Each structure stands twice: as C-alpha cells, then as structure tokens.
Amino acid sequence: MRILLVDDEVEMTDPLSRLLMREGYEVDVAYEGDRGNQLAQENQYDLLILDWMLPQKTGLEVCQALRSQGNMTAVLFLTAKDTVDDRVQGLDAGADDYLIKPFELRELLARVRALLRRPTAALEPSTRRLQVGDLELDPENQLAYRGKREIELSEKEAQLLAYLMRSPNQLLTHEQIYQHIWGETEKPTSNTLAAQIRLLRRKIEQDNESPLISTVYGKGYRFSCCTA
C-alpha cells in the first residue's frame, strides 16, 4: 500500500513516515501543499495524509482540487483545528477522516488501517461525472460524450476509462490497471487488457478526433488530455 504524507512539521513528519514504513507501507513525503498536490497528481496512492495548514497550498485546497478531478483516493486530515465547523468544512471538502493534533500514534495507525480496508473507488466507478478536455464520462450510466457524440460503454470500459481520466498524462502500468479494475481475484491476461483498450479506443477516438490513449510499450498506457 502506498501513502502520501504531506505536513510541514518536519519534527513530526519524519518519524511518522518511518513508523508507517516499519508497518509495511510505501511512503512519499512532501512538506508544502504545491509539492503534495504535484505528487498526488503524478502518482497513484492508496491514502493521502494531509495537514490542513500548509505552505503554498492548504491541505483543504489539495483535497478539493483532487475531488474536482474525480480522484477519490482516501484522505485523512491531520490538523490542530478542532471546532465542529472546522470538521464539517474538512469533510465537505472531500476528506474521509479527520484526526486532531496532538494524537496518539496507535489511533493514527488504526485510522490508516480502517481507511485502507475500504474498497478502492476505481472498483466501483464514482457516480460523479468526469471531464478531461472535450471528453466527458458519466460512469453511473456507462456513457461518454465527445463533442456531440454519445458513446455507450460496457461496465469494464466505463471503469477503465474512469481510471484513465482520473490520472491524465500519467503512465499507468499494466499492474496498476489490473489491481484497480480487476483486483486480485479475476486478474486478466495482458491480451485481455490490450483488447479492452483497443475496444475503448474505437469508441472514443474516431477518424477526425485526436487520439487520447497512448501505449507505452512494455509498461502500460497513458491518457492524454484532449482539447475541445
């Protein structure tokens, strides 16, 4: 499991990251909001641990930006803000849980384990519509729209397109796609994934339209932002 920890208190962040790594998690660390937001955009994480008050961009702004793009990675806020209004604001911004500083490490680890037990959002496409450039996706109804075209998708095609659209311009490896779309129990062959990608391309990329999904040979696929 991969965690992104974003907090500017080095005296807390460094030992906390080491503790999480001893628990078996892969941990990336950032000390400013802009850097945390960049890492969250560029990489696939299972959990984001965000301090509320950060230099450059607040944890609240990072969370809101990710949610607006359809990124449903679990978010745990760490903050000294302890009023009911603060908690409501954080949860309304899209946070999944909230821990007040100072906190017991045992409680933080328990919250982390609880959040990581939740089903990955990519396994059940969010009902929220996604839009990247001139392509819009309605995951709940398995419909995409490009220009004036309405495109019907199968369940797997909708899940796959949603996952790609949540990570524009990022390389998604074969293994990442297997884990997020099929899980451990029904892992497909590489030919199955290639066939799904081929079918999806036929539907969302017509002759007069710019290509959206590129193959990174031997590694995976990248969804490139399109323009209207």
Which domains are delineated in the chain?
2-118 (3.40.50.2300), 124-223 (1.10.10.10)
- How does DSSP assign the chain, residue by residue? -EEEEE-S-HHHHHHHHHHHHHTT-EEEEESSHHHHHHHHHHS--SEEEEESS-SSS-HHHHHHHHHHTT---EEEEEES--SHHHHHHHHHTT-SEEEESS--HHHHHHHHHHHHHSPPGGGS--SS-EEETTEEEETTTTEEEETTEEEE--HHHHHHHHHHHTSTT-EEEHHHHIIIIITTTT---HHHHHHHHHHHHHHH--TTS---EEEETTTEEEEPP---
Check residue 185 and give its pLDDT.
54
Check residue 49 and give its pLDDT.
94
Rg, Å, the chain Cα set: 19
Report the C-alpha gap between 27 and 55 in whole angstroms.
20
Q: Is the pTM value of this prediction over 0.85? A: no
Check residue 227 and give its pLDDT.
44
Check residue 202 and give its pLDDT.
92
- Which two three-digit tokens encode residue 173? 């490896």
**Helices 10-22 and 105-117: angle between axes, nearest 10 degrees:** 60
150-165 confidence digits (pLDDT tens): 999 998 899 899 888 8
**Each residue's pLDDT expressed in tens, for the chain with a length of 228 residues:** 899 999 988 888 888 999 999 988 999 999 998 998 889 888 888 999 998 888 888 888 888 888 877 778 889 988 877 666 766 777 777 788 888 888 888 888 988 988 887 654 443 445 568 888 889 998 888 899 998 899 999 988 998 998 888 888 888 888 888 877 776 556 666 688 889 999 999 999 987 888 999 999 989 999 987 544
177-207 confidence digits (pLDDT tens): 887 777 655 666 668 888 999 999 999 998 7
In the chain, what's the furthest Cα-to-Cα distance?
A: 58
Report the C-alpha gap between 148 and 201 in whole angstroms.
17
- C-alpha distances (whole Å) from 108 to each of 20, 58, 101 are 10, 21, 10
Are residues 56 and 33 in contact, defined by beta-carbon separation less than 8 angstroms?
A: yes
Q: Which residues contact 120 (CB under 8 A, 6 or more apart)?
A: 46, 179, 180
